[in-house]
Chains A and B, each alone.
Chain A
Amino acid sequence: MTLDLKKYLKPRGPRQHDVVGVDLGSSGTKAVRLRLMDGKPRLTAAAQLPATPYPADAAEAARSSGLALPGVLHARYVALALSAPEAVAKLLVVPRPADKLGDFAFSGMLGLANPDAFRIGVEIESSTHGETTVLAAAIPDHMVRWALHLFPVATPAPCSAEIAGLAALNAIAYSLREKPAEGAAMAIDIGARTSTLGIFIRQDLALMRQFPIGSNAIMNRVAGELGMDEETARSVLTDDVIDASDAIRIALEPLVRQLMLGRDFVARHRNCRVANVYLAGGLSGSPFWRQHIAALLGFEPNDWNPLTIVPCDPAVASPDRTSASGCFAAAMGAALAALEAS
């Protein structure tokens, strides 16, 4: 047995046992508080708060005041899930081994016109002698700075910031680790402006794509087709009082086409069929959306609730919140990732 002194002498970061995941979405701020109890995360509080919109310009963003969280959500650390139209996340295959990635310009592969204005992060998924699969993400720097201004002092202290779509996929991936599924699993997160698709095969990320089609665009299209305002269109999507299936089908068509392309890509390249579908985001509770997906794939999407993937108090995941619980996926994924990283 050898004693690795370097391991013990290496400075360690703060250990997070109490984290609030905050998804700063354009439609609302979603927050979940997780605490490590006996080594397992436990959900102690969840709330949807009014939206914290990004200010019109960077100067105003730098002067933003702090975000006041309710007392039950006031954890020691905060994990941020950020959404921005310019944010990019890609699963890249780099023709280099993992130890030669130091000077690799990921900005080019991410298609960033102005790399200096972005924060770029990568996570190595797998590596061989010749190539490395990395998950790369980039988000405008001013966006992160603005988010940090929301938690300027004391607690909760920011411990991580990531793209909301990836955070939502992380929550679904956590479920898959806890309850492995047969075949490939498709995870779809529909944000307000961006949708994220992830396909997992035996807990490996086989495909990850983002599309600039979000619930806002779908809602606008439905509203335009039916000749109603956006608020009414939203109620049409979540209720089944009015049969607006044709209008919704037309609105969802561009997104569905991308999903089918992704499914076929994995089926061809990995020889694996999608057998489970997990829906996250604001539209996950929409019956039309679920019916549409079921019709295309030939099976019903899984009943997945991000608030129940970890043990929780019954009041936190109450039935009246179940229909809208999909929107907590990014906050949950961010908090889980922060807990697992500590």
Chain B
Amino acid sequence: MKLHVNLLSDDERRSASPIRIKTLAPLAGTVTAGLIVLWIVMTVLSISHRRSQLRSDKWKWSRMEADYIAAVQTRSDLHQIEGRLAELSAYQRMRVEWHDVLRKLGGHTPTNIQLTELRVSQSIITDAKTPSRAYTLRLQGRTSGPAAEPTVRAFLTDLGSHPDFTNLIASATVPAGAFRGDTSAGATEEDRVFEINCVGRPRKIE
């Protein structure tokens, strides 16, 4: 027994649920379409803005390009000059002012010693962490009298420890047999010749 003749059509029978697919779907579609349109508009505006920015930057660059190239060149020159300056400074640090050394040497040489020869040789030390330049000073001279040996010894001590030479000479020695009698013609029995080898302090090449 069926007495219920429903006269409502399917589209008139709506759901009581507050969330309805029929209303939610178009709304979601509209929102999605709106978001897509918004995204497209934003993208177009962004591209337009970036193009404008690019034009502006290109114009600015055209104005400053020459200055920039000049600045780069100047900086390159500066680096080059700074390098040369550093090299010169290093040379200056390595340089031994021999005129000063000779003057001091003259001041410290006892009066009964006559220096007959001064030889300087140099070598580059590369086996150390920092390459350096080493000097060797070879002095030859003559003396006479009973106090010849103490005089030479005092001179040797002076060379090895006096503040005037500590910056230059690391050690000073008289090689074995280098203090002997003078056998040259016209020499007396009391005349002596000697030789002192001085090892200089190495100077770093930076």
Report A's interface with B, CB cutoff 8 A.
13-14, 76-77, 82, 89, 119-125, 135-137, 139, 144, 148, 154-163, 166-167, 169-170, 173, 177, 198, 200, 203-205, 333, 337-338, 340-341
Q: Is the interface of A mostly helix, strand, loop or mixed?
A: strand
Could you say which residues of chain B place their CB within 8 Å of the CB of A333? Answer: 3
- Contact assessment for A76 and B4 in the assembled complex, using a CB-CB cutoff below 8 Å: no
Bound together, the chains give a CA A120 to CA B5 distance in angstroms of 9
Bound together, the chains give a CA A160 to CA B3 distance in angstroms of 13
Chain A CB within 8 A of B2 CB: yes
Chain A CB within 8 A of B29 CB: no
- Contact assessment for B1 and A204 in the assembled complex, using a CB-CB cutoff below 8 Å: yes
Could you say which residues of chain A place their CB within 8 Å of the CB of B5? Answer: 89, 121-123, 135-137, 162-163, 166
B3: nearest chain-A partner, CB-CB? A170
- Contact assessment for A14 and B2 in the assembled complex, using a CB-CB cutoff below 8 Å: no
Could you say which residues of chain B place their CB within 8 Å of the CB of A148? Answer: 8, 12
Q: Is the interface of B mostly helix, strand, loop or mixed?
A: loop
Could you say which residues of chain B place their CB within 8 Å of the CB of A82? Answer: 7
- Contact assessment for A160 and B2 in the assembled complex, using a CB-CB cutoff below 8 Å: no
Could you say which residues of chain B place their CB within 8 Å of the CB of A157? Answer: 13-16
- Contact assessment for B8 and A341 in the assembled complex, using a CB-CB cutoff below 8 Å: no
Could you say which residues of chain A place their CB within 8 Å of the CB of B2? Answer: 123-125, 135
Neighbour of B4 across the interface among A77, A154, A170, CB < 8 A = A170
Which of B10, B15, B16 gathers the greatest number of chain A CB atoms within 10 Å? B16
Chain A CB within 8 A of B17 CB: yes
14 new A-B contacts at CB < 8 Å, known A154-B16, A159-B13:
A82-B7, A119-B7, A123-B3, A123-B4, A135-B2, A144-B7, A144-B8, A154-B18, A166-B3, A166-B5, A167-B3, A170-B3, A173-B3, A341-B4
Which of B3, B6, B12 gathers the greatest number of chain A CB atoms within 10 Å? B3
Report B's interface with A, CB cutoff 8 A.
1-8, 10, 12-18
Could you say which residues of chain A place their CB within 8 Å of the CB of B8? Answer: 144, 148, 158-161
A17: nearest chain-B partner, CB-CB? B16
CB B19 to nearest CB in A, in angstroms, measures 12
B4: nearest chain-A partner, CB-CB? A337
Report the 3 A-B pairs with minimum CB-CB distance, sorted nearest first.
A337-B4, A76-B16, A137-B5
Known: A14-B15, A157-B15. Is A205-B4 also a contact (CB below 8 A)?
Answer: no
- Contact assessment for B7 and A158 in the assembled complex, using a CB-CB cutoff below 8 Å: no
- Contact assessment for A200 and B1 in the assembled complex, using a CB-CB cutoff below 8 Å: yes
B18: nearest chain-A partner, CB-CB? A154
Bound together, the chains give a CA A77 to CA B15 distance in angstroms of 8
Bound together, the chains give a CA A205 to CA B5 distance in angstroms of 14
- Contact assessment for A162 and B16 in the assembled complex, using a CB-CB cutoff below 8 Å: no
Neighbour of B12 across the interface among A135, A139, A158, A338, CB < 8 A = A158
CB A75 to nearest CB in B, in angstroms, measures 8
Bound together, the chains give a CA A177 to CA B4 distance in angstroms of 15
Could you say which residues of chain B place their CB within 8 Å of the CB of A162? Answer: 4-7
A78: nearest chain-B partner, CB-CB? B16
Bound together, the chains give a CA A158 to CA B10 distance in angstroms of 11
Could you say which residues of chain A place their CB within 8 Å of the CB of B15? Answer: 14, 157
A14: nearest chain-B partner, CB-CB? B15
CB B69 to nearest CB in A, in angstroms, measures 73
Could you say which residues of chain B place their CB within 8 Å of the CB of A173? Answer: 1, 3
